[in-house]
């Protein structure tokens, strides 16, 4: 009996430390199977943690004519996060050198100027052949590449459908909000 209990505890321990996380990772949709450093702490953030959510991906910049969209993005996130929406910010200096700061400077700007609480990842490349692999895949799926800051990709809950919206689509745009609501249902 004691031997069986020890054996069971050993198997349970394996499940807790090894097999369960591996099984969860195996369930992650290929589109989300990427990690990026977090903007604030630089620690790797797996996009798999957002599986099952509707994901709004936005390449951001602090010194752009579209920067005020942070306000609308934060309002959408605050209003819909409990329904399953996550907004992911990807700061990039690819367009007009409008995001020249360090990750810390970007994080401070976003928090102090717009009260951003949605997840922000470390500064990255989102255009051209050197774009990060996640952005390359989003562009391939939608046939829409960011032409400027605040280009948006909307990903459904099972990461099988992705829609693209240009920089001129504001977070409060009615048609844009309808698409988010459709994906949340």
Supply the Cα-derived Rg of the chain in whole angstroms. 19
Buried/exposed 142-153: b ≥16 CB within 10 Å, e otherwise: eebbbebbbbbb
Calculate helix-pair angle for 69-80, 174-184, nearest 10 degrees: 30
CA distances from 59 to 95, 98, 168 (A): 10, 11, 13
CA–CA gap between residue 46 and residue 40 (Å, rounded)? 15
Decide if 110 is catalytic: no
Question: What 8-state DSSP symbol labels residue 18?
Answer: I
Residue found by looking up tokens 């910049």 in the block: 61
CA 8 to chain centre: 39
Q: What angle do CA 79, 49, 68 make, to 5 degrees?
A: 40
Q: Which residues are catalytic?
A: 64
């Amino acid at each position: 009996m004691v031997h069986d209990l020890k054996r069971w505890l050993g198997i349970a321990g394996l499940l807790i430390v090894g097999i369960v996380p591996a099984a969860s990772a195996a369930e992650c949709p290929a589109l989300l199977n990427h990690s990026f450093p977090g903007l604030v702490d630089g620690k790797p953030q797996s996009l798999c943690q957002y599986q099952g959510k509707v994901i709004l991906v936005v390449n951001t910049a602090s010194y752009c004519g579209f920067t005020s969209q942070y306000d609308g993005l934060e309002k959408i996130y605050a209003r819909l996060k409990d329904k399953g929406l996550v907004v992911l910010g990807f700061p990039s200096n690819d367009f007009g050198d409008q995001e020249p700061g360090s990750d810390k400077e970007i994080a401070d700007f976003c928090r102090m100027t717009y009260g951003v609480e949605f997840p922000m990842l470390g500064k990255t490349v989102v255009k051209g052949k050197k774009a990060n692999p996640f952005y390359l895949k989003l562009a391939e799926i939608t046939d829409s590449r960011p032409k400027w800051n605040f280009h948006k990709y909307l990903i459904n809950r099972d990461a099988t459908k992705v829609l693209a919206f240009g920089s001129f689509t504001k977070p409060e745009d009615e048609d844009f909000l309808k698409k988010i609501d459709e994906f949340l249902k």
